[in-house]
């Protein structure tokens, strides 16, 4: 029995969005599962002294260009929603609420939220929008709205975020394969090679 690979991401991360199209196929090709783990990148930024990349001098304009170029290469749509980079507490909470019940459906929700944001340009910060997206994949809108405000669900996202940072996770996407960390959409080829070869 091989261990699943871990896919850590923030719902506001364009590079995480790009990776979301590819990570499952990369794992499936070698018979692995993927555990999807959203967390709050802003909390990691506090730990690393960083700020959102797109807001930084010089690096910001380059990264927007690189994100668009990366999307064109992968032939996937990419737009930047109003409010980007946006808070993702509501999205993360909805994910973990559902993940405790149906991990496969939670993954579908994660993909739907990413596409709502970066393919459709919707600001997924408000809980209403998260609930809309959830309803679009067949979930109960009111149930999702309630879940987002449930203390235990809020606590779960906080715990996941703190635990990720404590383990040295600081970016999005951030993939862990058998204890080996890979940061960035541009490391997915290495993730694939590592999975196939067992490392180097």
Provide the binding-site residues for its own copies, judged by CB under 8 A: 44, 47-51, 56-59, 61-62, 65-66, 69, 72-73, 165, 168-171, 181, 183-184, 186-187, 189-190, 193, 200
Of the CA atoms within 13 Å of residue 63, those in its CB half-sphere come to 17
Say how far apart CA 25 and CA 149 lie, in whole Å.
33
CB nearer to its own copies: pick between 103 and 199 = 199
Phi-psi region of 9 (alpha: psi -120 to 50; beta: other; left: phi over 0): beta
Query: Taking the complex as a whole, how short is the minimal distance between the CB of residue 175 and its own copies, in angstroms?
Result: 12
Query: Taking the complex as a whole, how short is the minimal distance between the CB of residue 47 and its own copies, in angstroms?
Result: 6
CB nearer to its own copies: pick between 35 and 74 = 74
Query: Taking the complex as a whole, how short is the minimal distance between the CB of residue 107 and its own copies, in angstroms?
Result: 26
Give the C-alpha distances (Å, rounded to integers) separating 24 from 4, 32, 49.
Answer: 11, 9, 31
Give 57-113 as a DSSP string: TTHHHHHHHHHHHHHHHHT------TT-S---HHHHHHHHHHHTT-HHHHHHHHHHH
Say how far apart CA 172 and CA 19 lie, in whole Å.
9
Query: Taking the complex as a whole, how short is the minimal distance between the CB of residue 57 and its own copies, in angstroms?
Result: 5
CB nearer to its own copies: pick between 62 and 159 = 62
Say how far apart CA 36 and CA 20 lie, in whole Å.
9
Neighbouring-strand partners of residue 7: 36, 175
Query: Taking the complex as a whole, how short is the minimal distance between the CB of residue 200 and its own copies, in angstroms?
Result: 5
Kindly give the pairing relationship between strand 174-177 and strand 180-183.
Answer: antiparallel
Neighbouring-strand partners of residue 8: 37, 174
CB nearer to its own copies: pick between 60 and 126 = 60
Query: Taking the complex as a whole, how short is the minimal distance between the CB of residue 80 and its own copies, in angstroms?
Result: 19
């Amino acid at each position: 029995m091989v261990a699943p690979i871990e896919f850590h991401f923030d719902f506001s991360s364009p590079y995480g969005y790009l990776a979301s199209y590819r990570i499952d196929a990369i794992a499936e090709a070698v018979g692995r599962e993927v555990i999807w783990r959203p967390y709050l990148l802003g909390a990691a930024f506090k730990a690393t002294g960083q700020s959102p990349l797109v807001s930084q001098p010089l690096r910001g304009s380059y990264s927007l260009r690189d994100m668009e170029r990366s999307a064109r290469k992968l032939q996937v749509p990419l737009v930047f929603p109003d409010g980007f980079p946006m808070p993702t507490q509501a999205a993360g909470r909805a994910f973990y609420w559902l993940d405790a019940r149906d991990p496969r459906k939670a993954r579908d929700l994660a993909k739907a939220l990413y596409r709502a944001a970066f393919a459709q340009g919707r600001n997924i910060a408000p809980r209403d929008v998260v609930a809309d997206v959830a309803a679009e994949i067949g979930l109960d809108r009111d149930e999702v709205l309630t879940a987002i405000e449930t203390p235990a669900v809020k606590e779960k996202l906080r715990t996941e975020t703190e635990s990720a940072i404590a383990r040295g996770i600081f970016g999005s996407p951030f993939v862990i394969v058998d204890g080996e960390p890979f940061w960035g959409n541009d490391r997915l080829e290495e993730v694939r090679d590592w999975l196939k070869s067992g490392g180097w």
